[in-house]
Amino acid sequence: MSLPLPSLHARQLSWLALCVLALQLSACAVQQPDAGPAERHRLAAERIRATYEAVLPELSGGKRRHYAQRLYRVTGEERYLPANREYMLHLAGRLEAEIAELAVPGQIERLARESVEGYPRRTAKQRARAEMFTRWGEFAYAKGLLFRLVQAHYHGMLDEVPGHERALDYLEDLAWEAFLTDAEVLEVYAAQVANQVHFLHQLGVMDLRREVEAAFRRRYPPDTLALLSTAEYRNWLYGLTHFVIGASRYYQQEVDAEAYAWILEAFSEQSERIMRDATEDIQAEVALSFLLAGREGHPLVDRVRDALAAAVDP
């Protein structure tokens, strides 16, 4: 994939940050000049960063946050702080207004209805998710509130949001276990399920990690993987990566390799199909899962890094 700025589209931008993380999330890939493949990986990461950051001011606040938050966590470079602070200010105002509305009779029902009606339906995946949310109405809204509360927690500002306890109590009253362990939900929403179970735990709302992992493994037993279509396979992979990424609080801490050995072993066993059928963003997240578990030396990490570097500069 070449990177002329006029040709960059939203999907390309969405995986660039992942590629940077997969290529740079280690001292080896960043600090050793003239080190063969490691140097190629470093140069590819720098090229991606330069490309993304050239258009960063033109992107939406959400996309700027998505990129700057991840890069700050990996590099600690202060140049990524302004975009994070901008997002914090926007988030604080939105949450304060949103939480105040939760007490208004009928407001939650209206927000849930609008969330379902407004769900995008351009692609087959989006249509499948929109149909799923018609059956789970209120969760179409609650997932967004959960995400915003976690972002406030990440930024150390949750306790400063007026009425945040009301929002946490609202989330606690929902039937999250039924939603997050439902087989049909997992079939179209696996990565988001993995995120949400970790968000709920992080906020102290409830701990469903064991139950959700068990439901996921029941839905995707090893002897059925060969029968999955490409789209189904990618959903499975994407879900696995987000169990690890969610546990890391999105690149803020390492994860216990033993706790996620079942995921890392699945990646190892599926390495050939991962390289053949997974999209580049999912491949990047597979590599990141090994890195977050302290397994940088796994052969699949370098295979993914080589593929990403080749995609940037074929």
The model's pLDDT over 80-111, given as tens digits with 9 standing for 90+, comes to 999 999 999 999 999 999 999 998 999 999 99
Q: What is the pTM of this model?
A: 0.90
Going from the C-alpha of 301 to that of each of 29, 202, 287, 296, the distances in angstroms are 11, 28, 5, 6
The model's pLDDT over 255-307, given as tens digits with 9 standing for 90+, comes to 999 999 999 999 999 999 999 999 988 999 999 999 999 999 999 999 999 98
Q: Is residue 29 part of a domain?
A: no
Q: Is residue 132 part of a domain?
A: yes
| 250-263 CB burial, b ≥16 within 10 A, e <16 | bbeeebeeeebeeb
* Sequence letter at residue 96: E
Q: Is residue 38 part of a domain?
A: no
- Measured distance CA(11)–CA(170) in Å, rounded: 33
pLDDT score of 157 more than 70: yes
Q: Is residue 74 part of a domain?
A: no
The model's pLDDT over 35-50, given as tens digits with 9 standing for 90+, comes to 577 788 888 888 888 8
Q: Is residue 30 part of a domain?
A: no
Q: Which two tokens stand for residue 181?
A: 């362990």
Please work out, in degrees rounded to the nearest 5, the angle formed at the alpha carbon of residue 101 by the alpha carbons of 96 and 105: 160
pLDDT band at residue 12, thresholds of 50, 70 and 90? very low
In this structure, what is the dihedral angle of CA atoms 187, 191, 193, 198, given to the nearest 10 degrees?
Answer: 160
pLDDT band at residue 4, thresholds of 50, 70 and 90? very low
Q: Which two tokens stand for residue 35?
A: 């080190």
Q: Is residue 247 part of a domain?
A: yes
Q: Is residue 268 part of a domain?
A: yes
Q: Which domain holds residue 218?
A: 84-312
pLDDT at 18: 67
Please work out, in degrees rounded to the nearest 5, the angle formed at the alpha carbon of residue 190 by the alpha carbons of 187 and 194: 150
Q: Is residue 123 part of a domain?
A: yes
**Under a CB-based contact definition with an 8 Å cutoff, are residues 255 and 247 in contact?**
yes
* Number of domains the chain is built from: 1
The model's pLDDT over 116-146, given as tens digits with 9 standing for 90+, comes to 999 999 999 999 999 999 999 899 999 999 9
